[in-house]
Amino acid sequence: MTTLATSKHIHATLCNWMQKHYHTRECGNHMTLRTCHRRAECYYMPQGSRIAASAATTLAILYSFLLLGSIRQTLTAAFFIRSERALVLNVRPTFRRLSCSPCAMTTTSAEAAEGNKGNPFNFSWQQTMLRIKDPAKSLPFYEQVLGFHRLHEYKFDSFSLFFLYMPSPEEKPGLPPSGSKESEKVLWSMKGTVLELTWNHGTESQPDLKYHHGNEEPRGFGHIALACDDVYAACEELERRGVAFQKKPDEGRMKGLAFAKDPDGYWIEIVSRDASAAAFRDPETPRFSLAQTMLRVKDPRQSLRFYRDLLGMRLLAIKHFSDFSLYFLAQPASLPSSLLASLPASVDPSDESGWAVMKQLPGPVLELTHNHGTENEEGFSYHNGNTDPRGFGHVGFLCDDLEGACAMLEGEGVAFQKKPSEGSMRGLAFAKDPDGYWVELVGRGLAI
């Protein structure tokens, strides 16, 4: 009888063979592996190309299954060539799944769990930064209309920083006054994620200045998102309060979600939360909770290596569509203990269970959007928002040992915009992710 390890090896060997003989030589966009209760299906569907699988190749791979696997596992194995566009392998296995997404991003549940362990510097996603033109407009919008709490703020000679947070019911009573030493301590030691609004003094008086929201060329950052119990009711209320919309819930192909616009034109997706997340929401504060930050990525394999394997985020869910895929990651340290305890030991990122878990989160996920084929476009890049046209600034992570964390990342080939010892601001650094987005790294417990 074939062992579990042997079966997994056979399956991995097959996927590696398909990548070697087809994926890297063709367009490389559409190799997926989907699993269900008893059957694994491996599809390879190149865009606009034809598969030339010889009979000898087909028989050789099928024979390897018959030779190495048990009769029970392999008698049902078969290859089908359908319309010369899809190579389909049906096997009834007992082994665990190996997931190959569009662009051949490969991850298993075990690999995802292993990635979560690789966080020796205790990284936690702490912020998303957007530049704003006029705080007299942006702060009332985020605080009074959307319900953010101003956790802390800094006022320097030429710019000011406002850190906005949506606290849990347990956190809110103990939050210190904004701008105090106590609130600074909370900011740089917290487990949650804040929205940082950066105001460069004087921009409010520049009539032609407009920040770039990232959804027109040059593209990069996409949006932040807020979750609520009733998307339609929430959007009706926002519209009554004068909020502009890029898309209303019933417009376009995607029903039941909307895109509002803040005073600077940044898109704010309005999505529904799972009813079970209500326990983590303060009924006395607005119906919204911070749900996501979206970044477009060229190659999900490289991006997942950075955010999951190096920064310790957990891949919760994947959504594949015909021409794009979405990858959702969360920081385990930021999850409430009550919800963390309810998570299964291993979440399968390719099925609906991961999506269901994500919909319960009281805090945000990092959404990586991959438009299929960009990974093969020579010279293709996304705009990081820190050169003209400016807008989005960075995402930020706290860590326990800044110098050690930066040394580790540098050893892994990560480029830096600013190292801890450079510039006038010590105690922080700016790494660059594979797409050139800035990732601020701050030593936990920073005091400015």
DSSP-H helix ranges across 166-295: 181-187, 231-240
Among 74, 85, 86, CA closest to 40: 74
Q: What is the dihedral of CA 355, 361, 364, 368, to 10 degrees?
A: -10
List residues bridging with 432 in a β-sheet. 438
Residue 352 marked as a ligand binder: no
103 DSSP 8-state letter: G
Long-range contacts formed by 78-81: CB under 8 A, 24+ apart: 79/53, 81/51, 81/53
* Encoded amino acid at 374, one letter: T
Q: Please report, for residues 41, 299, 373, the alpha-carbon distance to residue 31 in angstroms, rounded to integers and kept in the order given.
A: 11, 14, 12
Residue reference for tokens 């990081």: 384
Active-site residue, 412 included? no
How far apart, in whole angstroms, are the C-alpha atoms of residue 447 and residue 72?
64
Known binding residue 412? Answer is no
Give a three-class secondary structure readout of 396-428: EEEECCHHHHHHHHHHCCCCEEECCCCCCCCCE
Residue pair 369/107 in contact (Cβ under 8 Å)? The answer is: no
Question: What DSSP string runs through 133-155?
Answer: S-HHHHHHIIIIIS--EEEEEEE
196 a known binding residue? yes
Matching residue, tokens 């008893």? 38
Residue 251 assigned ligand-binding role: no
Helical axes 4-18 vs 55-68, angle rounded to 10°:
170
Instruction: Select which of 153, 184, 269, 375 is catalytic.
Output: 269
- Binding-site positions read 127, 196, 223, 269
- Binding-site positions for Zn(2+) read 127, 196, 223, 269
Hey, which residues are catalytic here?
Answer: 269
